[in-house]
């Protein structure tokens, strides 16, 4: 088949990890006889620098016309420390999510057998942990209006809004994933305090009977934060609102040993997008030291969830696992052993796929 892909490397380490994921994608396409057509576009701080807009209309057009979007990372410290900046790179990411209707962010958390000892948690706690966080991605406090500051600058406010429709569609998506797995769905909210969470819980209780073969349980987000660390194996599919999902997935990534290992898929109304869960890691930009695995595994998710090409995705996973077993890893997980460069890890994985 022909794969039309929009490639958005973004900021910081984005371009260097994207190069590895693209090389892997090309190798897989060659191996399985697919045509790959890709086009690059600007997003984030680099887009502000070039055209003054973090998500230019041309980038949106390209995304809309493509079969899938591969996205690297967004963010630049020169904006982080300037609370008065009028345009921010992150606005580009948020607009991209909103305009593409990407309401469901799928973040799988799986441990790699060869890295179990690198997790800060005890091996017996994390061994075999395998769950998916489904984060609502286009609602909640990230998008709620009004948002801003009082005129004297001494008061700031955000608004958290969720509609029934937004909650229902993400819950149905979560049930779909749970149905294909171990049939357990954990709905995470703060229904003891927050009104939007109470609506989430009410709607989840209404929907649950439609999925009688799936066990639904509820956790408050503070308790969930604790359980993810204390007993990660108790989760199968976890679904939650935008901000809680942002926080819990960074926490969950620790289980695997590095934030640099977790890919994600964002799906919804238009073209699906595949991106690592980590940020732009500006301190490492241009140094060829960042871990490319989350980006490469995002390409695997693209084959699997975006194109339903399961063997292609499986081969990428096999190659990534083999690279870890062979100790071909970047410094974040090398721990005493030799640390390889971003490009060396990528090349090893490409060579494995070509074999």
To the query of whether residue 80 is one of the catalytic residues in this protein, the response is no
* Cα–Cα distance measured from residue 316 to residue 26, given in angstroms and rounded to the nearest whole number: 11
Q: What is the DSSP letter of 112?
A: -
Distance of closest approach, residue 215 Cβ to ligand IPM, in angstroms: 28
352 has catalytic annotation: no
Q: Residue 174: phi, psi to the nearest 5?
A: -65, -40
Rama region for 327: left / alpha / beta (φ>0; ψ in -120 to 50; rest): left
Q: Applying CB under 6 A, which of residues 6, 74, 185, 191 lies at the interface with ligand IPM? A: 74
Contact flag: residue 102 with ligand IPM (CB under 6 A): no
Cβ proximity of 280 and 14 under 8 Å? yes
- Asked if 136 is part of the footprint of Mg ion (rule: CB under 5 A), the reply reads no
Residue nearest to Mg ion (CB): 246
Report, in Å, the least distance between residue 240 CB and Mg ion: 13
Minimum CB–partner distance for residue 105 and ligand IPM (Å): 7
90 binds Mg ion (CB under 5 A): no
Is 63 in contact with 10 (CB distance < 8 Å)? no
The one catalytic residue among 55, 79, 142, 162: 142
190 classed as catalytic: yes
| Phi, psi at 339, each rounded to 5° | -100, 130
Is 222 an annotated catalytic residue? yes
Sequence-ordered alpha helix ranges (H) in the chain: 14-32, 45-51, 57-65, 77-80, 89-99, 123-126, 164-179, 195-207, 221-230, 242-256, 293-301, 307, 310-325, 331-334, 342-354
d(CA 273, CA 267): 7
**Residue number, 110 or 247, with CB nearest to Mg ion:** 247
User: Looking at beta carbons, which residue is closest to ligand IPM?
Assistant: 90
**Binding-site member from 76, 90, 136, 332 for ligand IPM (CB under 6 A):** 90
Site residues for ligand IPM, window 211-270 (CB under 6 A)? 246
Quick note: the x/- pattern for Mg ion over 211-250, rule CB under 5 A, is -----------------------------------x----
Q: For residue 354, give both structure tokens.
A: 């070509």
The size of the interface with ligand IPM (CB under 6 A), counted in residues, is: 7
Total residues binding Mg ion (CB under 5 A): 1
Nearest-angstrom CA–CA distance, 259 and 300: 17
Closest by Cα among 242, 250, 293, 323 to 13: 293
Which of Mg ion, ligand IPM, none binds 344 (CB below 5-8 Å, type-dependent)? Answer: none
Q: Which does 23 bind (CB under 5 to 8 A by kind): Mg ion, ligand IPM, none?
A: none
Structure tokens at 198: 């109470």
* Whether 49 is catalytic: no
- Is residue 144 part of the contact set for ligand IPM (CB under 6 A)? no
Q: Which of 59, 264 has the CB closer to Mg ion?
A: 264
Name the active-site residue from 23, 189, 190, 281: 190
Burial class of residue 297 (count of CB atoms within 10 Å of its CB; 0-12, 13-18, 19+): buried
Site residues, ligand IPM (CB under 6 A): 74-75, 90, 93, 246, 277, 279
Site residues, Mg ion (CB under 5 A): 246
* Residue numbers annotated as active site: 142, 190, 222, 246, 250
């Amino acid at each position: 088949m022909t794969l039309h892909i929009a490639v958005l490397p973004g900021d910081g380490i984005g371009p260097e990890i994207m190069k590895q994921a693209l090389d892997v994608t090309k190798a897989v396409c060659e191996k399985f006889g697919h045509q790959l057509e890709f086009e690059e576009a600007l997003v984030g701080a680099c887009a502000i620098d070039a055209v003054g807009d973090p998500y230019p209309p041309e980038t949106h057009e390209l995304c809309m016309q493509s079969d899938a979007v591969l996205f690297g990372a967004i963010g630049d410290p020169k904006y982080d420390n300037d609370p008065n900046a009028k345009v921010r790179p992150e606005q580009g990411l948020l607009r991209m999510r909103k305009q593409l209707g990407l309401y469901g962010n799928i973040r799988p958390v799986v441990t790699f057998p060869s890295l179990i000892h690198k997790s800060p948690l005890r091996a017996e706690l994390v061994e075999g942990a395998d769950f998916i966080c489904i984060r609502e991605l286009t609602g909640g406090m990230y998008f709620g209006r009004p948002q801003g500051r009082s005129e004297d600058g001494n008061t700031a406010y955000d608004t958290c809004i969720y509609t029934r429709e937004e909650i229902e569609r993400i819950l149905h998506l979560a049930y779909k994933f749970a149905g294909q797995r171990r049939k357990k769905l954990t709905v995470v909210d703060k229904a003891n305090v927050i009104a939007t969470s109470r609506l989430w819980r009410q709607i989840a209780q209404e929907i649950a009977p439609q999925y009688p073969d799936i066990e639904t349980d509820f956790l408050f987000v503070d308790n969930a934060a604790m359980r993810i660390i204390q007993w990660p194996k108790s989760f199968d599919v976890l679904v939650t609102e935008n901000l809680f999902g942002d926080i819990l997935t960074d926490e969950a990534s620790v289980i695997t040993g590095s934030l640099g290992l977790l890919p994600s898929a964002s799906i919804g109304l238009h073209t699906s997008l595949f991106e690592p869960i980590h940020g732009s890691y500006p301190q490492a930009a241009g140094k060829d030291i960042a871990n490319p695995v989350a980006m490469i595994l995002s390409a695997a998710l693209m084959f699997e969830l975006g194109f339903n090409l399961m063997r292609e995705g499986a081969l990428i996973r096999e190659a990534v696992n083999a690279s870890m077993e062979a100790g071909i890893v970047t410094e974040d997980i090398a721990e005493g052993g030799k640390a390889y460069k971003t490009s060396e890890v990528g090349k090893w994985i490409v060579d494995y796929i070509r074999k």
